[in-house]
């Protein structure tokens, strides 16, 4: 189990920017009990490696279940969707009398519990394992309390079987009602024979006041006017003294029946209260099962794999995909280019021109690490994860209008928070630090930050335009391949007659977002100049820039 503490692995912004919120939002939950579980989900921290691997063992079993028994998964999901949240009624049963509606919902829940338990038994008989903690406890005996006829249908009534006394009173009332109706029918027939007037089966009649029979009916002593307006009048049968006596008996016995039904509901409430623990335990199991099935279905649909959890602090992955970006590209008919990366304690820098996907690579490393530490399988071919104790991302426009701070000022505040809160085994993801100030100071600040971080026990990943930052000893430089190896004459022909939007898309199609680890002397990449040239920037400006590079 995860330790129950208040440690925070990553702040709201980091979880959102990295894509963990996207992952959570795409976990399909069907029961009314599991939404809080995903909201309150806790990460695993260094020291929880064994617990995380145990969790992954269970998730692996659930993925196997999802893949091999899709029909059972579908049926169980349907059972989840039919459930009502009865936790309040279950806890209220102790010391209170539940209503018939509450018993109906509770009975339906019990039926779904027994069906889920039966479905899972069938799955296990087929040789598919399911972790014990998701197997529901048997509640057939509790269901029998509310379903004495063993119909197992979604209805509830205070059945005669609940009370012999109740059954006898209902039988007696039924006999009296038959006797009263017999008397009413006899009077109805007598009126028809004597006056030629036919009453409805409810022993009443509605007539227009202009009708020739109106005065006749108004004078019949066996009928009483019960309503009228300026056009019509309603009459119904007067009860005879004998019928009135029976009606009074029916009213008295109905009161007794209602009292007895209340006693039955009180008794049922007390009986249910005795099983509060098992019912709430099953609800907890349903919530956990629903969430774990959601994780497993997500892992299967997104082609996620189980990461290897190691003691050393490393983040390594092969052919990983940022799921949110992949979905956006897929909606546009484009294909995502997987990224591989190997990070360890120290500083790694991603360099390359804009449009090269540096920021997405940064976010991807955060998403893989966060998903693993929150107990998800990860979207890549393989991964090795050493748990972090703190993870923070500094990314995007941090401008604070309310406080009158520039982008740079807000960025420095965020950087201070990150550095103040970093601990051993931190993972720091910093995107284009100091890009909002002048290049001389920006480069100086970036190089000093690298010097500060490279000897600390953090995994620090920084994207930057300042190529010289990576010349420091001990800094790993990963360079975006970009347009390396592209046939520019072919590309130039393709974009020559395209419009502005099409040109951007065409360049993106040729862009290689893979990362190469670069060591030693290397040529400064010229992707920015190539892109500027293809998008029509004046040739004189391009040549001038090339001169300054040399």
Residue 447, pLDDT score? 85
Note the Cα 215 to chain centre separation in Å: 71
Annotate 163-180 with b (16+ C-beta within 10 A) or e (fewer).
Answer: beebeebbeebeebeeeb
Give the pLDDT confidence of 356-402 residue by residue, as tens digits: 578 889 999 999 999 999 999 999 999 999 999 999 999 865 434 34
Query: Confidence band (pLDDT; 50, 70, 90) for 443?
Result: confident
pLDDT beyond 80 at 317: yes
More confident residue, 411 or 86: 86
Model confidence at 530: pLDDT above 70: no
Q: In degrees, to the nearest 5, what angle opens at C-alpha 20 toward C-alphas 16 and 23?
A: 125
Higher pLDDT, 522 or 263: 263
Phi-psi region of 85 (alpha: psi -120 to 50; beta: other; left: phi over 0): beta
Give pLDDT, residue 334. 80
Give the model's confidence band at 403: pLDDT under 50 very low, under 70 low, under 90 confident, else very high. very low
Q: Average pLDDT, whole number, for the chain?
A: 87
Residue 333 backbone zone (phi > 0: left; psi -120 to 50: alpha; other: beta): left
Q: Give residue 549's pLDDT.
A: 62
Region for 65 from its dihedrals, namely left if φ exceeds 0, alpha if ψ lies in -120 to 50, beta otherwise: alpha
What is the model's pLDDT at position 404? 41
pLDDT for res 505: 67
Task: Evaluate if residue 516 carries a pLDDT over 70.
Answer: yes
Give dist(CA 30, CA 413) in Å, integer: 42
Task: Give the strand pairing for 512-518 and 475-482.
Answer: antiparallel
pLDDT confidence of residue 542: 61
Question: Which long-range contacts link 356-359 to residues 24+ away (Cβ below 8 Å)?
Answer: 356/480, 356/482, 356/511, 356/513, 356/527, 357/480, 357/511, 357/513, 358/431, 358/463, 358/480, 359/395, 359/431, 359/432, 359/463
Evaluate whether 306 touches 377 at the Cβ level (below 8 Å).
yes
Look at residue 296 in the predicted model and tell me its pLDDT. Answer: 97
Distance of CA 144 to the CA centre of its chain: 33
pLDDT tens track for 77-130: 999 999 999 999 999 999 999 999 999 999 999 999 999 999 999 999 999 999
What distance in Å separates the CA atoms of residue 140 and residue 264, rounded to the nearest whole number? 20
* Selected residue with higher pLDDT from 500 and 142: 142
Token couple for 173: 């009332």
Asked if residues 373 and 51 have their Cβ atoms less than 8 Å apart, the reply is no
Q: Which residues pair with 401 in a beta bridge?
A: none
- What is the rounded distance in angstroms from the CA atom of residue 380 to the CA atom of residue 367? 11
Residue 177 pLDDT more than 70? yes
222-226, 274-278, 307-311, 488-492: the lowest-pLDDT one: 488-492
State residue 401's pLDDT score. Answer: 38
Q: Return the SS3 of 549.
A: helix
Per-residue confidence at 220, pLDDT binned at 50, 70, 90? Answer: confident
Residue 176 makes CB contacts below 8 A (sequence gap 6+) with 246, 249, 250, 253
Task: Give the containing element (helix H, strand E) for 394.
Answer: strand 390-394
| DSSP single-letter state for residue 405 | B
Largest CA distance in the chain: 123
pLDDT at 399: 39
Task: Work out whether the CA dihedral 409, 411, 412, 417 comes out positive or negative.
Answer: positive
Under the banding of pLDDT at 50, 70 and 90, the label for residue 195 is: confident
pLDDT at site 2: 46
Q: Report pLDDT for 217.
A: 82
Instruction: Supply the Cα-derived Rg of the chain in whole angstroms.
Output: 38
Q: Does residue 422 contact residue 355 with C-beta atoms inside 8 Å?
A: no
pTM: 0.83
What separation in angstroms does the CA of 98 have from each of 62, 113, 262, 264?
A: 37, 20, 10, 10
pLDDT for residue 492 is more than 60: yes
The C-alpha atoms of residue 222 and residue 205 are separated, in whole angstroms, by: 13
CB 474, CB 447: distance < 8 Å: no
Lowest mean pLDDT among 115-129, 149-163, 165-179, 210-224: 210-224
Mean pLDDT of 463-482: 77
Looking at the predicted structure, is the pLDDT value of residue 60 above 70? Answer: yes
Residues 6+ apart with CB under 8 A from 156: 100, 103, 104, 107, 146
The C-alpha angle with vertex 12 and arms to 10 and 14, in degrees rounded to 5, equals 55
How confident is the model at residue 258, as a pLDDT?
94
Task: Say how far apart CA 496 and CA 510 lie, in whole Å.
Answer: 15
Range 482-511 average pLDDT: 66
Distance CA 157, CA 293 (A): 35
CB 69 within 8 A of CB 323: no
Query: Which one, of 491, 428, 493, 436, lies nearest residue 462 by Cα?
Result: 428
Residue 467's pLDDT is: 72
Q: What secondary structure letter does DSSP report for 211?
A: S
479-496 mean pLDDT: 68
550 burial (CB, 10 Å; 0-12 / 13-18 / 19+) is exposed
Q: Is the pLDDT of residue 171 over 70?
A: yes
Cα–Cα dist 367/359, whole Å: 12
Q: Is residue 238 scored above 50 in pLDDT?
A: yes
Cβ count within 10 A of residue 259: 12
Q: What percent of the chain has pLDDT above 90?
A: 57
| pLDDT for res 252 | 94
pLDDT at residue 524 is higher than 80: no
* Confidence at residue 432, expressed as pLDDT on a 0 to 100 scale: 83
Instruction: Identify the residue whose tokens are 């931190």.
Output: 426
Helices 70-81 + 100-125 axis angle, to 10? 170
Q: Which helix (H) or strand (E) holds 242?
A: helix 241-273
Structure tokens at 206: 């509605």
Rounded average pLDDT over 285-309: 97
Helix, strand, coil percentages (3-state) for the chain, rounded to 5, are 55, 15, 35
């Amino acid at each position: 189990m995860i330790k129950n503490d208040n440690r925070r692995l990553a702040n709201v912004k980091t979880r959102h920017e990295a894509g963990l919120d996207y992952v959570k939002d795409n976990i399909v939950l069907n029961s009314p009990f599991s939404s809080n579980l995903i909201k309150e989900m806790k990460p695993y921290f260094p020291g929880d490696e064994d617990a995380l691997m145990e969790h992954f063992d269970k998730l692996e079993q659930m993925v196997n279940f999802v893949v091999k028994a899709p029909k059972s998964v579908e049926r169980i999901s349907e059972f989840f969707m039919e459930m009502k949240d009865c936790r309040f009624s279950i806890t209220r049963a102790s010391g209170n009398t539940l209503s018939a509606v509450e018993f109906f919902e509770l009975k339906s829940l019990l039926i779904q519990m027994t069906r889920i338990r039966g479905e899972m038994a069938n799955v296990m008989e087929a040789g598919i394992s399911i972790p014990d903690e998701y197997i529901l406890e048997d509640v057939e005996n509790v269901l029998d309390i509310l379903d004495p006829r063993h119909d197992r249908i979604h209805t509830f009534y205070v059945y005669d079987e609940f009370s012999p006394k109740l059954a006898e009173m209902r039988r007696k009332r039924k006999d009296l009602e038959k006797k009263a109706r017999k008397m009413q029918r006899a009077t109805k027939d007598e009126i028809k024979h004597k006056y030629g007037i036919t009453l409805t089966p409810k022993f009443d009649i509605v007539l227009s006041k202009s009708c020739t029979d109106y005065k006749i009916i108004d004078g019949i002593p066996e009928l009483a006017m019960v309503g009228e307006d300026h056009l019509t009048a309603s009459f119904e049968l007067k009860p005879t003294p004998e019928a009135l006596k029976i009606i009074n008996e029916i009213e008295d016995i109905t009161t007794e029946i209602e009292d007895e039904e209340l006693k039955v509901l009180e008794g049922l409430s007390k009986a249910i209260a005795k099983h509060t623990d098992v019912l709430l335990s099953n609800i907890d199991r349903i919530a956990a099962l629903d969430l774990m099935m959601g994780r497993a279905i997500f892992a299967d649909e997104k082609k996620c794999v189980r990461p290897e959890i190691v003691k050393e602090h490393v983040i390594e992955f092969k052919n990983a995909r940022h799921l949110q970006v992949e979905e956006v590209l897929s909606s546009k008919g484009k294909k995502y280019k997987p990224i591989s990366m190997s990070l360890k304690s120290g500083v790694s820098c991603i360099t390359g021109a804009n449009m090269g996907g540096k920021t997405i690579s940064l976010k991807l490393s955060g998403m893989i690490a966060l998903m693993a530490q929150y107990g998800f399988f990860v979207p890549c071919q393989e991964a090795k994860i050493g748990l972090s104790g703190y993870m923070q991302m500094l990314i995007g426009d941090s401008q604070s209008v309310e406080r009158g701070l520039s982008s740079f000022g807000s960025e420095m505040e965020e950087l201070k928070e990150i550095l103040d809160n970093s601990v051993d085994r931190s993972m720091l993801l910093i995107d284009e630090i100091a890009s909002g100030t002048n290049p001389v100071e920006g480069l100086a600040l970036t190089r000093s930050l690298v010097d500060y971080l490279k000897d600390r026990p953090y995994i620090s990943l920084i994207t930057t335009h300042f190529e010289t930052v990576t010349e420091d000893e001990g800094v790993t430089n990963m360079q975006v391949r970009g347009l390396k190896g592209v046939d520019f004459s072919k590309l130039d022909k393709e974009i020559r007659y395209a419009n502005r939007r099409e040109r951007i898309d065409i360049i993106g199609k040729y862009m290689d977002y893979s990362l190469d680890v670069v060591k030693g002397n290397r040529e400064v990449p010229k992707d920015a100049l190539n892109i500027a040239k293809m998008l029509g920037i004046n040739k004189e400006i391009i040549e001038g820039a090339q001169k300054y590079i040399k």
